[in-house]
Structure 1
Amino acid sequence: MARSSRRSNITGMEENTLAILESTEAKDSQDANDDRIAFLEAVQAASIIPENGTAPTCKMYEAVFQILRIGTSLELMMSSYELLNELDKRFPRVYVSEASSDGSHELVVVDEAWSPFFLGSNVACSERKAGGEISSGPLDFSCFTLLIQELVEVANGTKVKAIDTKHLRNMLLFQYLVSLLEGDFIPRNIVYEETINWALLRESLLNMLLGSRRTNYKSLMKDCLSILCCLCPAHTGVISGHGCPENSFRKPSEDCNTPLVFALLEVGKSSCIAMQKLLIMIMKLDISKKKADMQGLTTRADGVRTPLMDIILDELTYDRDMLSPFLQVFSEPKWKLEIVVQYFLKYTTTKPSVCTRRSNSPKDDATFKGVLNCFSNSISTKNIMKKISTDIVQLLLAHAFQAHLSMSYQYNEGISDSKEEMRDSSLVEICKNIICAFNSLRRTNGKVEILPIGKEALFTAATILSTNS
């Protein structure tokens, strides 16, 4: 199909977009849903299927997004969500150009590209519809906060009376917005690391979201942590408590909407992954901002924000019931290991570098090796156990060991470049040290009972040592 013909089709579709939007707002009949499905299929046929498809207009983008935000059928929600992601991959708003002859990259920002956020708009999404749903009006950063608050209610099991498509829709909306933030942030951060041009990240959607006056940053981050730790267990409770018992997956009851049940389970898991991506992006932004600040590239207009790492550590410290769920759900090994190391450093009265004579470099202080060295003698082990319970020490050590193993595997398989983290200690050395740490716990407290996760870590370490002996 010629480009002019494709553009003509896009123009014709755009003329019907306002009618689609009005139908989406006013009706919820099967005919209206059929029209919306047909519209989504037409956009896909014009923009995704052809090798040189034409990007949808802003009105068409808005129509697809509107269908996701108020759709009530499983087909509509999933189709609009998948189409938005396909469009973002095909027509990115922000991307890195091909490397030039000197190996450098440039950031390309498509200024006229559609965005679901109304940046700088005076229209606030500060009110909810009757029944607690987020308004379907313009989406500003306060809408993101309201969306997180609704997800907290689902995760905590509050205001959840039945399996509802609203919960699925909110999780899909959240996942899409995180994907949008990621698509905007990652290219900017790549070029920033090459150029140290802080303006690239200052103008990122993520930085503007966190620094917006409509965003209560600390409260938002605490809600995000709560969702991460509670979302999956909450979905199990919702399903088992409202007409769909756990064994209904084998024999679905007649009263149970089985497709919706499975969709909620899968989308709940993927929402946890999306939340982890969001938190990691924020921690990366914090590191980049700190680097820019040290070089005098930030201004008063950039404001001061508590690093997310500090908020995470404070929450895990003061709410230890959150610690185990967080470590089980948060799976990215590099950041997980860093969180555990920093947790230990909050409680070590002396630096790890002076715990043993071997640790004579300040660089060892903030490494897993440095933490393990603190368990190399009974005095330092006893000092740690006075401040951290034995069970929590075991939990932290075991999860940190799992993270280190994952990083070692990724590095050996070439999946990621973990050279910086892996170079200071071999896997064999870490295995010896983890066994030494657990033995030190036993010697210091003869009544200590090794937890299952600790036994698993010891067994894995011993297996690795026997294989490499």
Structure 2
Amino acid sequence: MKNPSRSNERAGIEDNMLLTMFDASDTKDTNQDSLDERIAFLDAVRASSIGLEYGKPPSSKIFAAVFHMLRTGKSLQLIVASYKLLVDLEKCFPRAYLSGEDVSLSPSNSTPKLIVAEEAWSPLIVGLDNAPVVREAGDKQSGGPLDPSSFHRLIEELAETLTESNIQATSMKPLQNLLVFQYLVIVLEGDFLPRNVTMNWSLQRESLLNLLMGSRKISYKSLMKDCMKVTCLLCQLVQNDLSKNLDVEKSSESQLSENHHIALSLALLEVLKNTHVFMEKLLVMIMALDMSRKKADIEGHTSRVDSPRTPLVDIVLDELAYNKDNIPHFLKIFSESKWKLEIVVQYFWKYITKPAAHTRRSNGSTVDATFDGVLTCFSNNIGTKSIIKKIGADVVQLLLAHGFQAQLSILLERNANDNIAGDREGASALVDFCHAFISAFDSLRSTDKNMEILSIGKEALFIAATSISMKS
């Protein structure tokens, strides 16, 4: 049997040796010898953890050193290498995961067991609102975890960078912010998703995501609005061709050589293309958290420590209603079918006239608050005219088209996974849905003779007609 004290002592010696490699080049970022030493440090960390069959996770000091390189490095090679190492370590040593038992073989009322690495290092310090703030100073403290206010500031900086008409690659800071954000989302996702599977609010409550969103150090609504702003700005950049918005010509302000500037520009271009995926993951996780909290509240599992928060869907709806120009950008880049459909349906029902209840004792709502229910509201010219007047013809088309795409995706996935019911039922439901969608557009055109069908509407109508001909 191994002596634990000997193992700990050996691990401590190995950590000290690795950290010596890091400290030796800590104050000399620009020369080649320093860069080589840091790359060697990253390779040594990878070899001692990921590279071994029974590798162990690095110590907190090692993690902090790698995080420090990501946030303060002045070499593109070093920044990308440290980011990849941190991501690979998250995959290899998850901070939360479900037990290896096959949940599908367990009784229906059983709950999968959650395993949490309580001592795992985290790039975020949450749940301690009295903890000292981690400043942005370019010293070793930059390797420490970010607190909620620093996370919010990171999102603000992303918005500021994307707001610029031309994103000039004059320094490593924009690339570092983007990669730090992506890494933080990976960490939040790795901790939240296993907890969410358990459907146990006491476990979901302790997630990094819930603690971050509930921190008193941030303005939750302001943070969510900034996340939406980043999402819409990313969509505009992609639509306008990122390469045209990214200033790839060397600026006179740049301290970089010509070759390094071109390499940084290309790296920034590629990372920008992927950032919207990570922002969508963050928003979807928050919406799932809101739904879990609502369910727990209904079941009486919440307490005073669960401070009330405005659901993210409500914030999204308010922001889109306030600035309708963002609707096409947000819906185009937000691809998750379930939540996109929820946003479209709820947006419509903000403006659709609700039928009056017949009696005070009427049980339940008479409103069909689904996308099918929305399509029904376009069954006559009076209802259609009212919706167009309140929302606008173009916005109605956008919402209908995106709602159709999301609902169609859900129906097709459901039919593909349904091995019990016959194909006829699924095909019939799909055909009925496509007919209802085409009918809604027919009502739009008959109500507004001057309305021009948008390209996204034409595409959706073509798909609907094709689906009908294939299934009929």
User: TM-score by structure 1 length?
Assistant: 0.86
> How far does the alpha carbon of each residue in 1:271-291 deviate from its partner, in whole angstroms, 9 at most, with x for none?
110000000000011011111
Q: State the partner residue of 2:208.
A: 205
* 1:48-63 matched pairs, under 5 angstroms: 48-63=50-65
* 1:412-427 matched pairs, under 5 angstroms: 412-414=415-417, 426-427=429-430
* Structure 2: distance between partners of 1:172 and 1:363: 48
Could you tell me which of 331, 334, 341 is aligned with 1:337?
341
State the 1:362 CA deviation.
4.8
* Structure 2: distance between partners of 1:381 and 1:353: 21
Q: Show structure 2 runs of 5+ residues with no match.
A: 250-256, 419-424
* 1:96-245 matched pairs, under 5 angstroms: 96-99=98-101, 102=107, 103-119=110-126, 120=128, 122-125=131-134, 127-129=135-137, 137-157=144-164, 161-191=168-198, 193=199, 197-231=200-234, 233-234=236-237, 240=244, 243-244=247-248
Q: State the partner residue of 1:419.
A: none
Code of the aligned partner of 2:58: P
State the 1:7 CA deviation.
7.5
Q: Secondary structure at the match of 2:351?
A: coil
> How far does the alpha carbon of each residue in 1:280-330 deviate from its partner, in whole angstroms, 9 at most, with x for none?
000011011111111222122211110000000000001011111101111
Change (3 A) 1:12 1:218: same
Q: Secondary structure at the match of 1:51?
A: coil
> How far does the alpha carbon of each residue in 1:199-230 deviate from its partner, in whole angstroms, 9 at most, with x for none?
21211111110111111101000000000110
* Structure 2: distance between partners of 1:23 and 1:363: 71
* Structure 2: distance between partners of 1:263 and 1:237: 15
Q: State the partner residue of 2:83.
A: 81
Q: Show structure 1 runs of 5+ residues with no match.
A: 246-252, 355-359, 416-421
State the 1:184 CA deviation.
0.7
Change (3 A) 1:57 1:391: same
* Structure 2: distance between partners of 1:71 and 1:278: 26
Code of the aligned partner of 2:432: E
Change (3 A) 1:240 1:447: closer
Q: Secondary structure at the match of 2:115?
A: strand
State the 1:259 CA deviation.
2.8
Q: State the partner residue of 1:248.
A: none
Does the 8 Å contact 1:153/1:160 carry over to 2? no
Code of the aligned partner of 1:305: R
State the 1:177 CA deviation.
0.5
* Structure 2: distance between partners of 1:410 and 1:353: 36
User: TM-score by structure 2 length?
Assistant: 0.85
Q: State the partner residue of 2:422.
A: none
State the 1:129 CA deviation.
4.1
Change (3 A) 1:283 1:301: same
Is 2:369 the partner of 1:366? yes
* Structure 2: distance between partners of 1:259 and 1:22: 27
Change (3 A) 1:405 1:164: farther
State the 1:346 CA deviation.
0.5
Range with bigger deviation, 76-85 or 160-169: 160-169
Give the structure, 1 or 2, with the largest relative contact order (CA under 8 Å, sep 6 or more): 2
Identity of aligned residues (%): 50
Q: State the partner residue of 2:252.
A: none
* Structure 2: distance between partners of 1:115 and 1:256: 32
Code of the aligned partner of 1:274: F
Q: State the partner residue of 2:289.
A: 285
Q: State the partner residue of 1:462.
A: 465
Change (3 A) 1:21 1:139: farther
Change (3 A) 1:352 1:259: farther
Task: Give the superposed CA RMSD.
Answer: 3.1
> How far does the alpha carbon of each residue in 1:356-401 deviate from its partner, in whole angstroms, 9 at most, with x for none?
xxxx995872211111111111111111111010011001111111
Could you tell me which of 320, 325, 337 is aligned with 1:321?
325
* Structure 2: distance between partners of 1:324 and 1:239: 21
